[in-house]
A and B are shown apart, each in its own frame.
Chain A
Amino acid sequence: MLIATIIFIPILLTILSSFIKKVKILGMVNAFGYLALLAAFVFFMKDFLAKGSSAVSLWGWIYVDSLSVFFLFTTAVVSFAASVYSIGYIRQEVENSEISVRKASGYFQLFNLFSFTMLMVPVLNNLALIWIAIEMTTLISAFLVGFHNVKESIEAAWKYIVICSVGIAFALLGIIFFYYTSSKDAGVKSLEWASMLSGSGAFDPKIVKLALIFILVGFGTKAGLAPMHNWLPDAHSQALSPVSGLLSGVLIKISLYAMLRFVMLANLSVGYAFSAKIFVFFGIVSIVIAGAFILVQKDLKRLLAYSTVENIGLVSLALGLGPCGGIFAGLLQAFNHAVTKALMFFCAGEAVRAYHGNSMSRMQGMIKVAPFAGTAMFLGLFALVGMPPFSIFVSKLMILISVFNGKHYLLAAIILAFIAMAFAGLLHHISKVVLGNKPNAAQVRKEPLSAKIALVFLGIFILWFGLNIPKPFFDLLVSCERLILGT
C-alpha cells in the first residue's frame, strides 16, 4: 500500500502546482513533497529489506522487487535534490523575466508528471505498460527540453523525441517477439512479469535472441548508449539545469532498468552470456566515442552530457561482465553517477547563470564569481573522474577489478586509455572554468540558499558512499545481482 501512495505524491503535487500562484511558495511546497516522498520511500525500503527482500505485488498491477527498489531509490534521491534546486533556479528565471509566472507553474507541473512517469517504470508489473511509461517519459520531458522555445532548444527537443521514439518502437517489436514465444512455446498468454518469468525456461532461444537485440538496441537508444547517443548531448545541454540533472541522473537509468528486466527474462533460455556480449559491445563503443568527444567540447553542459555517455558506457560494460562480479559494480556506478552528475549539472546551472551562456570560452574564475557552486563543481569534478575518497572511485575500481577477473586484458587497456582521456579532458576544461581570474564583466553573485542545500545534500551521498557503503544498500545490491543472474 505504502508504495502506491508514494508513487502518487507527484500527481498530488501536479494538482497543487496549478493552484499556487506565488513562485517561491510553489517551489517550497514542491520540495517538501519530494522530501516526504524520499522519507516514505526510505521507510518502505527499510521494511522491504527487513522482510528479506521478497517481492511485493499489489492488485496485479504493481510488482516491486530489489531491482525496482534500487532504481526507485535513485529516482527519489535525485528528484528530491532537483526539486530543491528548482526553487531558486525558477525564482531567478522569473526575476530575470525570462519566463512568466504562469510558465513557472507549468514547469512544476511538467516536472512532477516527469517524475511520476519515471517512478511508474520500476513498479509496473506488465512489461508492455513499462514500455508505455518509458515512452511517456520521453513525451513529457520533451517539453522540458524545449522549455525556452528558442531555436536550439526546439531543435534538441525534436531530435530527442524522434530518435527516442524510433528506438522505443524497435523495443516494442522486441516485446512482441517475447510475447510470441511466450504464448507459443511456454503457453503464457500474458505480459505480466511473474507469469512470463515462470514460463521463461521454455522460450525459443532463437526468437529470444532476436527479441533481445531489438530490446537492447531500442532501450539502449533511450539509455544514451553510443552509437545511438546523438540525441543526448543536444537534449541534456538544452534542458533547464535541474531537468538536465534528472535526465542524466535518472531517465537513462530507468531505460537501463527496462533492459535488465528483459535480460532477466532471457536468462533461462539463452543464458546471461548472450546479453553480456551486447552490453560489453555498447559499453566499449560508448566509452571510446565519449572519450574522444570530451576533449573537443566548447560547451560546458555538452561536456557533462558526453561524460554521461562515458559513464553509462562503463555501467553497460560492467553489466556485461556480470558473471565476474560486474553487476554489483555496474549498479553501484549507476547510483554514484546519478548523484554526482546531478551535482555537476546543478553547478553548471549556476555557472551558466553567472556567465550568461553555455560557452566555456567565456567562463573563468567561477570560484570567485560563485564561490559555493564553484567549490562544489571543483570537488564534483574530482568525484566525477573517479578520485578517492569519492564514491565513483569505488565503483570504477570494482569495474576494473571485474575486467581483470574476467582476464580481458586488451579490453582493460582500451578502457583505461579512454578513461584517462576523459579524465584529462574533464580536468582541463572544468579547471579552466573554475580557476583563474574572473573576467571584468562577470559580477559576484549571491547564490540561492536552495542551490546550496541541494549541492550539500548530493555531496553527502558522494562522500558517504565513497567512504563506506551502508550495509542495507550493500545488501540491496547483492540481492539485485542475484536476481539478475537468476541464482
Chain B
Amino acid sequence: MMINFLLSGFLVVTFLLVIAKRVTALIRAFMAQAIFLFLYTLYMGFSQLHMELFIVCGLILVLKVIAIPFMLKRIVRRINVEEDLGLLINPQVSMVIALVFTYLSYIFARHTMALTDFAHSAAFIVSLTTVCVGFFLMVSRMKALSQVIGLLVMENGIFLAAGAIAGGMPFFVEIALFFDVFVFIIILEVFVYKVNRLFTHIDTSKMKSLKG
C-alpha cells in the first residue's frame, strides 16, 4: 500500500517537472521528487532493516532535499534569472510526451526485464520514466539551469532504478556517487555564473559562436 503511494507520488512529481513553466516551479518540483526518493529509501530501510540504507537516506535528505535545491535557488537569486524557462515544447505536448515515456517504460519493463515482483517492476517503470523525462527537460528547455536540473532528475531516476532492480548498489559505491553528484553540482554552479557573466544571460539556445 505504502509503496504504491510513494511511487505514484514520485510519478506525479515527475509529471509536474514537465509542465513547469517557471524556474522556481521547476526547482520546487525537483525538491518534491527528492523528498519522494528519500521516503522511498526510508521505507526500504525499514522493510529491510539495513543500517546502510538509513545512511543513504540521510545523505539523500541532506544533499538532494536540502543542499541542491538551496543552491539552485541561490543561483536564481544571484543572477536575477528571468522566471520564464523558455519552453521549446509547450506544457500540454510535453505532458503527452511524458505519458508516452511512461507507457514505453511499461512495455520495456514487461518484455525485457522479467521482473516478477509488482513493487519492483512498478519502481522500475517509474525510474525509467524519470530518466527519460530528465533527458527531455535537457533538450526541450532553453535555460542552462534547466539542463542542470534535467541531469539531476536523470540521476534521481537512475538512483531509483538501482534500488528497484538491483536492491541498491554496494554501499561505498553509493557514497561515491553522492560525492560525485556533490562535486558535479558545485562545478556546474561555477559554470552557470561564468556563462551568466560572459553572455549576460543563461540561454543555451543563444550560444552559437562555435560551429562546424
Contacts and interface: CB of A to CB of B under 8 A. Distances in A.
A166 B147 CA distance: 10
A132 B188 contact: no
Interface in A323-374: none
A234 B212 CA distance: 9
Q: How large is the interface on B (under 10, 10 to 19, 20 to 34, 35 or more residues)?
A: 35 or more
Contact of A180 (B166, B179, B188): B166
A483 B179 CA distance: 32
B158 to A, nearest CB: 5
B158 A172 contact: yes
Interface string A188-220: 011100000000000000110010000000000
A347 B132 CA distance: 43
A152 interface: yes
B47 interface: no
B100 interface: no
Interface residues of chain B: helix, strand, loop or mixed (majority):
helix
Interface in A267-284: none
Given A154-B194, A155-B207, A155-B210, A165 B184 contact: yes
A228 interface: no
A166 B166 contact: no
Contacts, number: 105
Contacts of A149: 194, 198
B112 A210 contact: yes
A146 B199 CA distance: 14
Contacts of A159: 207, 210
A142 B176 contact: no
Nearest to A176: B162
A151 interface: yes
Contact of A173 (B158, B173, B180): B158
Interface in B159-212: 161-162, 165-167, 169-170, 173, 176-177, 179-180, 183-184, 187-188, 191, 194-195, 198-199, 204, 207, 209-210, 212
B126 interface: no
B154 interface: yes
Contact of A136 (B170, B183, B195): B183
Contact of A176 (B169, B179, B195): B169
A172 B181 CA distance: 13
B85 to A, nearest CB: 16
A166 B210 CA distance: 20
Which 9 A-B residue pairings sit nearest by Cβ, starting from the closest?
A128-B173, A180-B166, A180-B165, A234-B210, A155-B207, A179-B166, A176-B162, A169-B154, A154-B194
16 contacts: A135-B180, A142-B191, A146-B191, A151-B199, A152-B209, A154-B191, A155-B195, A158-B191, A161-B187, A162-B147, A165-B151, A166-B135, A166-B151, A169-B158, A176-B165, A180-B166
